[in-house]
Structure 1
Amino acid sequence: MKPLILSVEDDLQMTSLLRTMFEISDYPLIQAKTAKEALTRFLSDKPDLVVLDLGLPDADGLEVIRKIRSFSQAPILVLSARSEPADKIQALDLGADDYLAKPFSVDELLARIRVICRRLDQTGTLPEAAVFRNGGLEIRYDEQEVRLDGQLLHLTPMEYRILVLFSRNLGKVLTRNYLTTQIWNSTWNSDMTNLRVYMTMLRKKLNHRFIETSFGVGYKMVRESADTAQEA
C-alpha cells in the first residue's frame, strides 16, 4: 500500500496540480489550505507523509513543522517558493526531511517521495555494536541517541541518518555523489545543495569536530584522540 499523503498548500492552481499528480500516481491524498487545518487533519487522519508549503495564510509553515515534530516523526517534505539557503537551513533544522524549491519538476517530486517511501519500508541494518564511540562522540543506535562530551545532542532525523552513515564508514572519504545516493537515492544538483546545508548544520552541532572536508571530493569522519577531545 502507498502512504497516505497530507498536502498543505493554499494556492488553488498548485492544489489542483498536486491533487491530479497524486491521483495519477495512485497516492491516497488529503489536503489542507491553512496551518490550522493541516494540524487538525494530521491528528485526525494520521498521514504517513506531509508535503508542506511554507507560505500559508494563517501561519508560517515552519510553525507547522515545529508543532508536528513535538509529537511525531512522520516525514515532512517542504515544497516552497522560498529558495534561499537560510530558509532551507531553518526548515531542515526544525526537522523537515527534505526541501524542494518551486518551480519544481513533477518527476523529481515523485522521485523524492519514492525515496521517502523506501525509507519508511526499510528497518535499516545497525552496526554490530549497539554503541559507537569516537573520542567525545557517542551514538546509541538502539535509542537513536547521540551525546557529545556527555551532553545529549538534538539532531533532526536526517542529521542523525547522515551521522550514522559516517559512523559506519569511520576513516573513509565519502564522496558527495555517494552521500546523496545513500540519502536521497539520486545525485540532482538540488541534492548537492541540501547536502551542503545538512553538513553545515551537523558540523556546527558537533563543534566542527569529527567530520573533515576532503576538498573537491566529499567528507570523512576522523578518529578523535583523547588529547583532541580534552582540548575541545
Structure 2
Amino acid sequence: MTSARILIVEDEANIRRFVGIALRDEGFEVFEADSVKRALIHAASRQPDLVIVDLGLPDGDGKQLICELRGWMAVPILVLSARDREEEKVAALDAGADDYLTKPFGVPELLARIRAQLRRHVQSGTMAATSKVAFGEIEVDLATHEVWRQGNPVHLTPIEYRLLCAMIRGQSRVITHRQLLLEVWGLDFVERAHYLRVHMAHLRQKLEADPAQPQYFITELQVGYRLVGV
C-alpha cells in the first residue's frame, strides 16, 4: 500500500509541496498538478491509485474535474479544500469524491484517510477479482454479468444491472440519489430522480422476497440507498 501512486491536484505551490513531502516520507510515489488540464494529463498517463483534489483550481472547478475523472477512473478521490460549507461537501461527494478534508488539516489525519481509502479500494478490487458476490439469497457474477436468486437465474436489463453493480461497489455505505444517477445514467440525468425510483422498484421486484419490505435495497429517506449484507 505504501508504494501506491498518488496524484495531488493543488494550485498553491506551498501546500502541494507540503503534502508531497509528507506522502513521499510515507513511501508513496507522488505526482503533482496545478490545474484541471494538467491533472487530466497526469491521471491518464500516470494511472494513480488515489487522487487528492483541491476544489479551487485556476482553470476550472474541482467538482467538474471529479466528474470527468469518474467517467473513466474508479480510484479513490479525496478532496482537500478550504471550503467548509456543508453544501460544498455534499456537492463534491455527489460528483464522485470518496472523502472530504478541510484546510487547515493535520498530516496524521490526512495519512489515515488516505490509508483507509486505499484499503477500501484494495478490498473492492479483491471482490472484483473473485468475480462472485453474494448477499442473502442473491449471487452475482461480476465477470459474466449473471445474477441468481435462490439458485435460479434472474434476467436484469442493462440499467438494472448497472444499478446493482453501483450498489455493490458502495459496500453497504449510503449512496446519494445524485451519485447513483451520475454513475448509472450520466451527468445529463442527475436531476431525474424518478428514473432511479422506477428502476430501483424493478430491481426490488426481481431480487427481494417482499419488495414492499426490502431486506437488501434499503431507502435512506431524502438521501439515497444502501445495500445491506454485502
Same fold (TM over 0.5): yes
Q: How many residues align?
A: 175
Task: State the TM-score, normalizing by the size of structure 1.
Answer: 0.61
Paired residue for 2:109? 108
Question: Which digits, 9 at most, give the CA deviation of each residue in 1:132-171, with x for residues without a partner?
Answer: 7xxxxxxx572799xxx9793777x986544x52xxxxxx
Q: How many percent of aligned residue pairs carry the same amino acid?
A: 37
Give 1:199 shift: 5.8
Task: Map residues 92-131 of structure 1 onto 2, 5 A cutoff.
Answer: 92-122=93-123, 123-124=126-127, 126-127=133-134, 131=138
Paired residue for 1:225? 212
Paired residue for 2:20? 19
Give 1:53 shift: 0.5
Task: Map residues 20-99 of structure 1 onto 2, 5 A cutoff.
Answer: 20-99=21-100
Take 1:41 and 1:130, find their aligned partners in 2: how far apart are those partners?
43
Give 1:225 shift: 2.3
Counterpart of 1:142, as a letter, is: L
Take 1:30 and 1:103, find their aligned partners in 2: how far apart are those partners?
22
Unaligned runs of 5+ in 1: 133-139, 166-182, 184-194, 211-222, 227-232
CA contact under 8 A between 2:80 and 2:100: conserved in structure 1? yes
Establish whether residue 152 from structure 1 lines up as the match of residue 152 from structure 2: no
Task: Map residues 170-185 of structure 1 onto 2, 5 A cutoff.
Answer: none
Take 2:142 and 2:137, find their aligned partners in 1: how far apart are those partners?
6
Structure 2 SS opposite 1:66: helix
Alignment RMSD (CA, Å): 3.7
Seen in structure 2, the aligned counterparts of structure 1 residues 158 and 118 have a Cα distance that, compared at 3 Å, is farther
Take 2:211 and 2:107, find their aligned partners in 1: how far apart are those partners?
44
Take 1:6 and 1:90, find their aligned partners in 2: how far apart are those partners?
21
Take 2:37 and 2:22, find their aligned partners in 1: how far apart are those partners?
24
Paired residue for 2:11? 10
Unaligned runs of 5+ in 2: 147-155, 181-192, 202-209, 214-230
